[in-house]
Amino acid sequence: MINKFKDRIIRIFRKYSLPRWLVFLIDSVIVLATFMFACMLRFNLVISAIKPELAWRQGLLVLGLYAIVMLIVKSYSGLIRQTTIKDTFNIIITTTVSTATLIIIDFINRKFGQIPLFNIPLSILLIHYGIVTIILIFFRVFIKMFYEFASSTTRERKNVIIYGAGEMGVTVKRMIDGEARSGLRAAVMIDDNWRLQGKKVDGIQVYSQAILTEDFTLRNGIKVFIFAISHLPPKTKKLVLEKVISLGLEILETPELTSWLNGHLDVKQLRKVKFEDLLGREPITLNLERISSGLENKTILVTGAAGSIGSEIVRQLTKFRCKKMILVDQAETPAFFLENEMANKFQDCPCKILIADITRKEKLDHIFKKYKPEIVFHAAAYKHVPMMEAHPHEAFRVNVGGTKLLSEYAIKYGVEKFVLVSSDKAVNPTNVMGATKKICELYVRALPWKQAVNTQFVITRFGNVLGSNGSVIPLFRKQIEEGGPVTVTDQRISRYFMTIPEACQLVLEAGFMGKGGEIYVFDMGEAVKIIDIANNLIRLSGLEPGVDIRIKYTGLRPGEKLYEELFSNDEPQLPTYHPKINIAKVTEFDTEAILVKIDRLLADLYTLTGRQVIERMQGIVPEYTSKYEGNGE
């Protein structure tokens, strides 16, 4: 019977919560009622001794002053069933400031005038102060205790380790303990501050990271780990994550304080950690002055603007005072979403979305003639290795042919800077996509040798980006959601990874670093095994590899390498002023011969078989090795 009553009450609590305006109204009624009661107490409950009209007017004066202070302090804004010491403190501030102000008004009135409305006896003010403070606090505590009584069902809660014993950690502890629907219970805390270790914070024992062992978690029934600390260094977070993942715990983190609802944390805001945190990469420091001066009041053209890399370049560009952005992509649906994002989030940024194929001469000529871009970021390309392996004609037509047309129009219309987004697959390529990227690099490097041009051509080269369209992370997540198996091509395969924002920030930095002709290669950190990514993503989903989700090895796909390279043997790396950007010192080559071969292959492209296309590309890039088995028809 009692449990049914509790269930009914908790359903009401989950469905409804007192709106702030109603809490404000209840507090106001309490203020006025307790003032009238204080007046009665002052005269020993002899009602005939009170002047009702004067007492009522003074009560409204007190209520008006309290209301002003409540609006300033916002003592009514907290979620009642999650009342904290901070909420109690706000009530004390409200009643103390209001009473002190009324005492000052009364004192001034007695000294300089005798207005009856302001002549409130000090004893009434003090009696009212004590009563209203107690009742306002009791109202909140009663609701909180009633909610805890209703939520104290027999439902089992998961024990939690909270990482961080500071203010945020205490807030998380109180939030999950006071929220039955969270299904969580704060068991212990961890903090790196040795002064807190061995002590209790808000009734919870604080330990060092040494307790992160299988024995401790099993003995204490720990099921969940919550990050509750701000500004944790990426490398520290990576080490902690690796340790916790190995224990098979569910891992959550607390959002930034700025994203809390009305300044209060709710259990629904706890979120799963991002895989990117396992990279442990430090935030990038950009030369904002150099980038800003290069972009200020300039018209920028971005190709592939609706893709993973292109759209993030656009987002990074919105931070600078560009004159206008011309955003080109041939995919209408992603372009539609980009247009909506620009309209909703970046209203102050002038931009134009254009549906266009970069291999169409007439369209490109029209764009350059009409908008006269001064900076070009070229991110449009076919990039999926297996798909391009099966379609070498299209890979060459779009990746090389598109780059050729864009760079030629950039020269024709006096573009100041042309930034080509390349790939680490261009180094000693073993697939069609990588070979086309290498040929694009050769082409834009050869152009200035062919003719005197003012356009600066810059090449940026980096590896895989986490979360890009068709990349391994979204694929694995989808496979995990579907119950597996998670497919990995080879147990030994590894890749370099960086985040999309990080890659695009470095593209901007490198774009305004040199004078043209350089190949900038980004520091990708350490190579990561794909099997480790699969295992960690499964564990981050609260599952066990090989038990809940099976891993299936499918064998290397056509053109796929076991290990990627950022520099070839004939490309020694040179440092720049930026620690995460190096220059590939490339050897000279026969520019005229390269340009002729590219032109001939584009002219003959659809008269050739797939094998012949690849042989022609090998004539341009001798280090290109291929195991192509199709005919490309």
Query: Active-site residues: which are they?
Result: 425
Residue 128 · residue 38 · CB < 8 Å: yes
- Burial, 576: exposed, middle or buried (Cβ in 10 Å; 0-12, 13-18, 19+)? middle
Distances (CA, A) of 457 to 54, 302, 380, 522: 84, 15, 16, 17
Q: Cβ–Cβ contacts within 10 Å for residue 111, how many?
A: 8
Q: Please state, in angstroms and rounded to a whole number, the distance separating the CA atoms of residues 572 and 591.
A: 21
DSSP3 helix / strand / coil % (the chain, rounded to 5): 50, 15, 35
- Using alpha carbons only, what angle is made at residue 520 by residues 517 and 521, rounded to the nearest 5 degrees? 150
Reading the block at residue 115, the tokens are 């207005």
Give the torsion through C-alpha atoms of 521, 523, 526, 528, to 10 deg: -60
Contact 189, 204 (CB under 8 A): yes
Task: Please give the single-letter amino acid code of residue 413.
Answer: Y
Q: Which helix (H) or strand (E) holds 56?
A: helix 52-73
User: 23: part of which helix (H) or strand (E)?
Assistant: helix 20-42
Instruction: Say if CB 353 and CB 327 are below 8 A apart.
Output: yes
What residues contact residue 219 under an 8 Å CB cut-off, 6+ apart? none
Residues 318 and 343: their CA atoms lie apart, in Å, by 12
Query: Ramachandran region of residue 207, left (φ > 0), alpha (ψ -120 to 50) or beta?
Result: beta
Q: Which residue has the tokens 């088995």?
A: 629
Q: What is d(CA 389, CA 232) in angstroms, rounded to the nearest whole number? A: 43
Residue 584: enclosing H or E segment and its boundaries? strand 581-584
> Letter for the amino acid at 221?
G
The CA distance from 80 to 72, in Å, is 18
